[in-house]
Structure 1
Amino acid sequence: MLYNSLAFNAMKSGLDGLAIEQKMILHNLANYETPGFKSKSVTFDKVLHKEKEKGGGVGGSYRFQATIHTNDAVELRPDGNNVDSDVESMKLYENYVRTQYLYTKISGQFANMNYVLDQTAK
């Protein structure tokens, strides 16, 4: 069944991670003018790859935890804020493309399942 497949659960976990990443990017952009604000990032994908290397399962009931990091290394402005709107905008676009890719793959899985069901009903 599609809902129990490793591929479907991996794509769902990927979408969950991308949603968290998108919220963090939007949070950074919303605080672009906040003095002293430090940009934050999420490392969901790195955790996913580590688990795959260790042979851990991606599907089933396994849930990944997103790790949020604060970027303290660089101060771009005299007010202590280090949000670079150009960098954050590019991250947001990359997140959008990756999200659309996963939605397309999931939609294709459902289209295949509908096709099989239609052919079986004939």
Structure 2
Amino acid sequence: MSLFGGTIHSLEKGLQYSTLKNKAIAQNIANVDTPNYKAKDVSFKNILNETQTTIFSANRTNVRHYNFEITNRNSGVMSYEIFKYRNDGNGVDMDAEQAKLAENTIYYNALVDRINGKLNTLNTVIKGGR
């Protein structure tokens, strides 16, 4: 039995997703003037699929057989290879990146507020309601 249940773990995963997305957006903004730079984005669907990774492992019928397993892992970060926003091959739209950054910041702050609420509730229970 977990002390916090699955809620804190889910919120933690949400924070990890938001942090990874923030890094991708910051990298895009930093490379706005780099020729042939392809914009990157983080897909929630890819992150979710990564947590549900399928592992293939071999059935060993003899001790002399090799033990191996295959995992399907990716970072969840994808780049837009075919998208070119400007003539120099750069794929970064600064206005769109700033909008994504604002949206991601609001999402991150909401998660932090929710975790604080959970921990404050736990603190109140520990103190006996005082």
Question: Could you say which TM-score interval applies, normalised by the shorter chain?
Answer: 0.7 to 0.9
Runs of at least 5 residues in structure 1 that lack an aligned partner in the other structure = 55-63
Runs of at least 5 residues in structure 2 that lack an aligned partner in the other structure = 53-72
Asked whether the 8 Å contact 2:50–2:76 carries over to 1, the reply is no
Answer 1 or 2: which has greater helix percent. Answer: 1
1:103 matched to 2:112? The reply is: yes
Asked whether the 8 Å contact 2:21–2:42 carries over to 1, the reply is yes
After superposing on structure 2, the runs of 4+ consecutive aligned residues of structure 1 that deviate more than 3 Å are 47-52
Percent of residue pairs identical:
29
**Match of residue 59 from structure 1:** none
Pair 24,7 (structure 1): closer, same or farther in 2 beyond 3 Å: same
Pair 103,34 (structure 1): closer, same or farther in 2 beyond 3 Å: same
Separation in 1 of the partners of 2:99 and 2:22?
12
Tell me the C-alpha RMSD between the 2 structures: 2.2
Counterpart amino acid of 1:16? Answer: Q
**Match of residue 28 from structure 2:** 28
**Match of residue 13 from structure 1:** 13
The structure having more radius of gyration, on CA atoms, is 2
Asked whether the 8 Å contact 1:17–1:66 carries over to 2, the reply is no
How many Å apart are 1:65 and its aligned residue? 5.6
How many Å apart are 1:107 and its aligned residue? 0.1
TM-score (norm 1): 0.79
Separation in 2 of the partners of 1:72 and 1:51?
22
Separation in 2 of the partners of 1:46 and 1:94?
18
Pair 65,73 (structure 1): closer, same or farther in 2 beyond 3 Å: closer
Q: What is the number of equivalent residue pairs in this alignment?
A: 108
